[in-house]
Structure 1
Amino acid sequence: MTIFSPAEAAIEAAGLAVETQEMPRLVRLVARRLPADPEAVSAALCEVRAKGWASRLVDLSQRDGQIWVLRVDAAEAASRIADPAADELALREALDRVVLARLRTLAADPARALDVAIEELFEAGGRVLSASQHAELAQAVARAFGLPADAPFVAVAVAQEDQRRRERRAAEGAARTGRREELQRLREWERSLVEFREIPALLGCTIKEVLRWVAAGHLPVARRIPGKGGERWEFDPVELARLRPEVAEWRRADDAGAPLEIGVPPGRKNRSGNAAIARVAALDRYAAHFSTARALDRQITLVTGPTNSGKSHLALDRLSDAPSGMALAPLRLLAHEFREALAARGVVASLATGEERIVEPGSRHLAATVEMCPLHNPVEVAIIDEAQMLYDPDRGAAWTAAIMGAPARHVFVLGAPDCVPMVRRIAALCGDPLDEISLERKGPLVAASEAVALGSLQAGDAVIAFSRRDVLDMRATLQAAGRRVAVVYGALSPEVRRAEAARFNSGQADILVATDAIGMGLNLNIRRVVFAALRKFDGTQSRDLLPQEIKQIGGRAGRYGRHESGVVAVLAGAGSPSFVRNMLAAPWVEPPDLRPIVQPDSDIVRAVAAEIGSDSLFGVLARIRRAVLRRDDPNYRLADMSQAFAVATALEGVAGLDLQQRWAYAMCPVDERDSGIPRLAGWAAEHGAGRTVAPPSVSRLPPPDRASHEELDRAEKRHKRLVAWRWLALRFPEAYPEHEEAEALTDRLNDWIEAVLRQQHRAVATRKSKQVQR
């Protein structure tokens, strides 16, 4: 061998067998270690071969079905090999040590460590162990904790898994049978329906009488089938037979010339079929469902105005003067802010959100999220904030229920001017008097005449993007230019969002980068809102921002008392300043459908179940989707219940849960994109079997200064799982008993995420730093 350098000489002297393709990198590594003895050369050759060893270990693990072995395990094991001639046995032994060490760190006891390991596999792409793989993993966990292979833990773990598998098989079979029976019941009923012309023979009347009685609501239409010549009406013969004794009374009313009253006479109870179910659910008379509110002499005051117009201040002053009341917010974070605002006015308030309760003894005031509105405890004053959410397809039904059902003598509804026609309609449906207060913005809001260069951003600016990835990329770009950045986006917990807002408001961060999550709540000292995009994906399509979106988000600029005016601009290259100016000046466009969105609650679900004689939530929701509210109902429209229906379908075969418990699971906030429904079904199965459900694991968190975007994303998903678990723990404390541990895990995640976001000197690609125009 010809020697060309000291590094090559050191390699030659070490006498190691080196492959030709390994030599270039080995030379570079040895050159850094000069002078290099044979031990140093050997270590360098191990480093060269580590990547190949890691790939080999991954292949071996996959071939052996050890899917719990991670790529990071293989890489860590390969990095620990000190013999460049290591054989397969040595590689496997190194990997075994690494995997056992990781399993040992998952939890304080082997049973919980096994659960966490299985949970992490499901998190990583929904991977599920076979029975043999589960037993092998249990043995690995036992060894990690220093237990023998025949330890009782292993036998118990295998037996419990066998039991769960039997339960799952039974549940799947029961689910198939239950769904089939419910659908068969519905199809049989539909086949039994009769057409309009057959009614006279069934009731002994004329077609003219049938027309009049249908118009009066005496004869409910069971099903309307659209056709070319109009709708074809079908009727339930069983229900018609029950109504026959009332025919004489209807005729007497006709002969007496009684006015035609559209609707179903009060007090009638007709059974069977979709029409009867619709009357039981009564979603077409939704306002009447809230009996406590209807019994009160309510007054609604609608307070509208743009952001920074003082709506909340006005209403909170009235609430704090009242002897009792409630403040309903769209977000948990804002419920906390309402509670603090009342405390600042000398009023002690309790708190109720989906995942937490704070009860203040003797307090007669409550701060809560809208979904937690108490419907049966009358108070003097209620505040319902952000009423423009009435139009939201996912949560609008909660605002409908709150405004219609808040049991307060004086209800203050706060919102952007967009909500006016919808609130007027709701007040009319409730029969409540409505007065309106329109507030003006306290400081002017103006559109910038020119686009803003990225390098021209100043302290107090908020840059708005419309995806988490864009927010984090913008943060990295600005940090590369030496800017201190705070971020806010929807996946962050309320605690982290609040901490980031505090960093921005205090000046610890110069610039805020956020999604439209800042459009509601968060007191932010923003001088200028700068849009990094003028288009967004709304879940269906990519489209231009709407005038109300520009106004809602841009209105966060120029907080009263901090800035004389607010400025709304667009980032250079992201769009035209004239677009922003035109959107700020544009009149509000009334949506084509002003019918309030409604959905059933637990009482309605219970009533429909009793009507159809079934305790199947799948069957109940199938009937509700089909029967309770006509598509052309003049007053209301049914909310999208696809997720609740998906949960009901997943729970159909789970034993041990009653109808109301299943409905609670169907309302639990889960992320379908994160396998939320299968995970929820698994929790429900444990609950139904009488076993407790442990909180989701937080798992390993790398040092904040070394966390990647992917690791941050995983942490945010884990936080959402903990939110769902805590939501269920408040409703089923016996099945979800480790509430304090879940809160501790939540705090740990929040602290870690906030620490990651505080990092100001992350390395970024050169191409990003070049984007900054100094």
Structure 2
Amino acid sequence: MTSETFASPAREAFVRVSARTGLSIEPREEQDVLRRIARALEPGARDIEDETYRTILCTARRKKRVSRLVDLTRRSGRIWVSRDEIEEAVGNIEEPEADDRVLERALAPVSRARLRSYGANPRAVFETVQADLVDTGRVLSPAQTDLLLMAIALAFDLPEGDPFLDTARREEAQRQKTASTIERTAREKREKEESRLRTWEESLVPFQEVPRLLRCSHKEALRWIAENRLPVARKVRESGDRERWEFDPAELIALRGKLGEWRNGGAPAVAGAGGKAPDMGRKVANSVIARVAALDRYAAHFRTARALNRRITLVTGPTNSGKSYTALNALAQADSGLALAPLRLLAHEFREALASRGVEASLATGEERILVPSSRHLAATVEMCPFYNPVDVAVIDEAQMLFDTDRGAAWTAAIMGAPARHLYVLGAPDCIPMVRRIAELCGDPLDEISLERKSPLKPATQPVRLQDLQAGDALIAFSRREVLDLRAALMQHGRRVAVVYGALSPEVRRAEAQRFNSGAADILIATDAIGMGLNLSIKRVVFAALKKFDGKQTRDLTVQEVKQIGGRAGRYGKHEVGTVSVLAGAGSPSFIRRQLEADPEMPEDLRPFVQPDADIVKAVAAEIGSESLYGVLSRIHRAVLRKDDPNYRLADMEQAFAIASALEGVDGLDLTTRWSYAMCPVDDRDNGIRRLVGWAADHAAGRRVLPPGTGRLPPSERASREELERAEKRHKRLVAWRWLALRFPEFYPDREDAEETTRRLNEWIENVLRQQSRTRSSSPGSSSRRRG
């Protein structure tokens, strides 16, 4: 057969080499194999080496082998084996016709090495692997636990009869039994609380029954209700703006003996400020709970602030208008002061800004304290606002956060309760009506200052292609995955890239911002985490998407989002003008122009968010005679604020409810401790509540809660996305642990170890993000590939 017989040199080479080696291919592999042979052929050649052909077949079959090995590990219960391990193992296989046994043989040494790298000893490895699995929402069954323990024993060459296996099995069985007991107990207590409340509510009677039960006239009943003698158990809003009053019949019957005194003009009962509500034991009326919590009179809760002659100055303006400059100068000149920021990173920046003005300040964030004994100034996150120590000046930044359903209540509390004689509130223009409303509720005079942007901001008329991005550009996406995909694409174009997204710690975000500002990175890729808390020298903002998923739906970017993010372009003193554009294929530049030119969007509901604090929780608990945090929060949710309250609305307390609910099964923690756990910053998308309950159970049992470790940190230049994400989740564990360590140091004593672990994790993540070659990805469809 001559060369002319073949359609291409690659096919001729394939026929020859496959005949020599006896290695055939499946029809679906043919096109891929021929392409790889064509790339491997020398100019003018019509044959390849046998070994080259073997390598080509292994490469072409890699994806199929990875899928097969994933299936084998999952079917056998080895769910801790990562895709990275499997890809590495498959990449080591040199047999073109490898069967399942060959695949397993290739995986074994890789898995052993991986397990050893997770910790210094078998116990540390076992705990780290379990913690990583919990992050992904997976919990080992007893059989899977046994498989993991045996794999760890093999990895560490433990001799037969080593006590680690029996001890670990016994302890894990006890841990799972405890967790199961906690879950069952929590469920039973929740059901009991709900049943008790439901039974009581079902026993209530309408007003029409009151005269019969009290043996009084209709007119007398109305008068005694007005005089606050008869407790209204529940008020139910009905259609047509009507309200139905309901009463507890047992309480009414118990009051019959007082009718004579009331008819003879005895003093009416007084409930509310300074008085004691009628004693109704455990079946306390919702109206009484509302009075105790007093969320409908929330401003009065902050007694120190109300005792001061406060003045509020509201400073609004777009990004790059210099809102903080005047306020920080006033703060630095005051004898005492307070600077409240939305992020730990910004609290540090406030502290540094004061230091640059010659004022030393202490620092207080959820997970960190820096005490300067001689200082009378404090920089803090908003949630750490001290409400009882009066100061001359306070500054609260990013007041548009008042509208945030998760954190808005913290801004309400800070603005209402900051004990400052002069309070500066800084924010975007859309916060103006809400701050006015709060000032009115507090009875504080309000001055308003409106600032203009210092450098012009203009929309681009044409979209920008990815390859045409320039040094000083910031590319905005709305998910971690999109950020890392764009990073990989730009690095393939030879661009130096820095990234900022929400899962990164403040330290890493700041390091990435510095790389961009210094010119060590040409382009910044960021999520909307860029919109708050970083000083960035951006010339042009380019949106990679004009829609975002907000946790409930995918929607267009709002006017405020476009202005807040786009306004980062053209930093004053660095660039004469800022430009806002959109990436080619992501949408129309006219959308950007319309949003930038639009007036601020004013929300329809201007009632500030409020939520209970520890004092309110304790007061309600004492009133209803319960130590159940779930029961207390349920009563607050049902009773405290009607949905049509004219002044306030209850914040979204879904996570606090979820934590309180899960903690019902943990005995030995008082109400205040449970409330602290309920406020702990955890992310339940990586099973954070389950982990928190485990820590709380150790706390309740008097055991030390050890800080999370770094786990396996491979060389940064070889780290995959999966490994990067795992490190980010470990950092979140450490944030929660350090938050609790500040509140319960006796049970979380190893703060120095935790801080050192945090430092190592941050350093490793920074090094991974500095790598300018494409990071290996374990995401579907983007795994690394070797050329044949």
> Do Structure 1 and Structure 2 share a fold, with TM-score over 0.5?
yes
Question: Partners in 1 of 2:437 and 2:271 — Cα distance?
Answer: 19
Q: 1:381: how far off?
A: 1.6
Question: Partners in 2 of 1:609 and 1:287 — Cα distance?
Answer: 21
1:351 partnered with 2:363: yes
What residue number does 1:118 align with? 130
Q: 1:128 to 1:516 in 2, by over 3 A?
A: closer
Preserved contact between residue 282 and residue 289 of structure 1 (Cα < 8 Å):
yes
SS at match of 2:710: coil
Q: State which of 560, 565, 580 in structure 2 corresponds to 1:568.
A: 580
Q: State which of 260, 275, 287 in structure 2 corresponds to 1:267.
A: 275
What residue number does 1:673 align with? 685
Question: Partners in 2 of 1:207 and 1:602 — Cα distance?
Answer: 41
What residue number does 2:188 align with? 177
Structure 1 stretch displaced more, 34-43 or 308-317: 34-43
Preserved contact between residue 272 and residue 292 of structure 2 (Cα < 8 Å):
no
What residue number does 1:771 align with? none
Q: State which of 223, 243, 258 in structure 1 corresponds to 2:234.
A: 223
| CA shift digits 1:35-61 (9 cap, x unpaired) | 999999999998898888777765654
What residue number does 2:446 align with? 434
Question: Partners in 1 of 2:115 and 2:752 — Cα distance?
Answer: 24
SS at match of 1:606: helix
What residue number does 1:716 align with? 728
Q: Structure 1 regions of 5+ residues with no counterpart?
A: 769-774
Question: Partners in 2 of 1:535 and 1:52 — Cα distance?
Answer: 36
What residue number does 2:206 align with? 195
1:166 partnered with 2:177: yes
Q: Structure 2 regions of 5+ residues with no counterpart?
A: 4-10, 783-788
Give the letter aligned to residue 350 of structure 1: S
Preserved contact between residue 480 and residue 764 of structure 1 (Cα < 8 Å):
no
Structure 1 stretch displaced more, 532-541 or 635-644: 532-541
What residue number does 2:392 align with? 380
Q: State which of 731, 735, 742 in structure 2 corresponds to 1:730.
A: 742
Structure 1 stretch displaced more, 425-434 or 202-211: 202-211
Question: Partners in 1 of 2:705 and 2:55 — Cα distance?
Answer: 47
SS at match of 1:328: strand
What residue number does 2:770 align with? 758
Q: How does 1:181-580 map to 2 (within 5 A)?
A: 181-201=192-212, 206-208=217-219, 210-211=221-222, 221-228=232-239, 230-237=242-249, 264=272, 266-271=274-279, 272-454=284-466, 456-580=468-592
Question: Partners in 1 of 2:277 and 2:673 — Cα distance?
Answer: 27
Structure 1 stretch displaced more, 29-38 or 178-187: 29-38
Q: 1:248 to 1:334 in 2, by over 3 A?
A: farther
Structure 1 stretch displaced more, 367-376 or 59-68: 59-68
What residue number does 1:659 align with? 671
SS at match of 1:730: helix
Question: Partners in 1 of 2:203 and 2:355 — Cα distance?
Answer: 62
Question: Partners in 2 of 1:546 and 1:328 — Cα distance?
Answer: 26
Structure 1 stretch displaced more, 31-40 or 684-693: 31-40
What residue number does 2:786 align with? none
Give the letter aligned to residue 743 of structure 2: R
Preserved contact between residue 217 and residue 264 of structure 1 (Cα < 8 Å):
no
Give the letter aligned to residue 139 of structure 2: V
Q: 1:482 to 1:93 in 2, by over 3 A?
A: closer
Give the letter aligned to residue 196 of structure 1: F
Preserved contact between residue 442 and residue 560 of structure 1 (Cα < 8 Å):
yes
SS at match of 2:80: coil
Question: Partners in 2 of 1:710 and 1:72 — Cα distance?
Answer: 8
Q: 1:49 to 1:452 in 2, by over 3 A?
A: closer
What residue number does 1:154 align with? 165
Give the letter aligned to residue 325 of structure 1: G
Give identity over the alignment, percent: 64
Preserved contact between residue 721 and residue 776 of structure 2 (Cα < 8 Å):
no
Q: 1:549: how far off?
A: 2.5
Q: 1:539: how far off?
A: 2.6
Preserved contact between residue 475 and residue 543 of structure 2 (Cα < 8 Å):
yes
What residue number does 2:7 align with? none
| CA shift digits 1:95-147 (9 cap, x unpaired) | 44443332222111221111112223333x43322224323433432343333
Give the letter aligned to residue 461 of structure 1: D
Question: Partners in 1 of 2:64 and 2:482 — Cα distance?
Answer: 35
Question: Partners in 2 of 1:610 and 1:665 — Cα distance?
Answer: 20
Question: Partners in 2 of 1:583 and 1:223 — Cα distance?
Answer: 46
Question: Partners in 1 of 2:83 and 2:596 — Cα distance?
Answer: 52
Question: Partners in 1 of 2:324 and 2:261 — Cα distance?
Answer: 54
Q: 1:212 to 1:492 in 2, by over 3 A?
A: farther
Question: Partners in 1 of 2:519 and 2:603 — Cα distance?
Answer: 40
Preserved contact between residue 77 and residue 94 of structure 1 (Cα < 8 Å):
yes
What residue number does 2:117 align with? 105
Structure 1 stretch displaced more, 332-341 or 466-475: 466-475
Question: Partners in 1 of 2:450 and 2:512 — Cα distance?
Answer: 32
The alignment yields a C-alpha RMSD, in angstroms, of 4.0
Q: 1:599: how far off?
A: 0.5
Q: 1:187 to 1:513 in 2, by over 3 A?
A: same
Q: 1:439: how far off?
A: 2.6
Q: 1:266: how far off?
A: 4.0
Question: Partners in 1 of 2:310 and 2:142 — Cα distance?
Answer: 61
Q: 1:212: how far off?
A: 6.1
What residue number does 2:152 align with? 141
Structure 1 stretch displaced more, 73-82 or 568-577: 73-82
Preserved contact between residue 242 and residue 270 of structure 1 (Cα < 8 Å):
no
1:749 partnered with 2:749: no
Question: Partners in 2 of 1:96 and 1:376 — Cα distance?
Answer: 61
Q: 1:294 to 1:239 in 2, by over 3 A?
A: farther
Preserved contact between residue 231 and residue 278 of structure 2 (Cα < 8 Å):
no
Preserved contact between residue 50 and residue 78 of structure 1 (Cα < 8 Å):
yes
Question: Partners in 1 of 2:426 and 2:327 — Cα distance?
Answer: 8
Q: 1:473: how far off?
A: 3.4
Q: How does 1:698-709 map to 2 (within 5 A)?
A: 698-709=710-721
Preserved contact between residue 216 and residue 264 of structure 1 (Cα < 8 Å):
no
Preserved contact between residue 30 and residue 40 of structure 1 (Cα < 8 Å):
no
Q: 1:233 to 1:727 in 2, by over 3 A?
A: same
| CA shift digits 1:524-576 (9 cap, x unpaired) | 22233333333333333333333222322232223222233333344455444
Structure 1 stretch displaced more, 144-153 or 245-254: 245-254
What residue number does 1:597 align with? 609
Preserved contact between residue 459 and residue 580 of structure 2 (Cα < 8 Å):
yes
Give the letter aligned to residue 586 of structure 1: A
Q: 1:328: how far off?
A: 0.3
Question: Partners in 2 of 1:173 and 1:7 — Cα distance?
Answer: 64
Preserved contact between residue 324 and residue 365 of structure 1 (Cα < 8 Å):
yes
Question: Partners in 2 of 1:263 and 1:658 — Cα distance?
Answer: 28
- Give me the TM-score of the superposition, normalised by structure 2: 0.85
SS at match of 1:411: strand
Preserved contact between residue 205 and residue 248 of structure 2 (Cα < 8 Å):
yes
Question: Partners in 1 of 2:696 and 2:263 — Cα distance?
Answer: 54
Question: Partners in 2 of 1:474 and 1:59 — Cα distance?
Answer: 30
Question: Partners in 1 of 2:25 and 2:49 — Cα distance?
Answer: 21
Q: State which of 741, 744, 751 in structure 2 corresponds to 1:739.
A: 751
SS at match of 1:512: strand
Preserved contact between residue 118 and residue 128 of structure 2 (Cα < 8 Å):
yes
| CA shift digits 1:622-670 (9 cap, x unpaired) | 1111111111111110001111111112222123322222222211122
Give the letter aligned to residue 200 of structure 2: W
Give the letter aligned to residue 759 of structure 2: D
Q: 1:451 to 1:432 in 2, by over 3 A?
A: same
Structure 1 stretch displaced more, 491-500 or 221-230: 221-230
Question: Partners in 1 of 2:548 and 2:40 — Cα distance?
Answer: 52
Q: 1:273 to 1:571 in 2, by over 3 A?
A: same
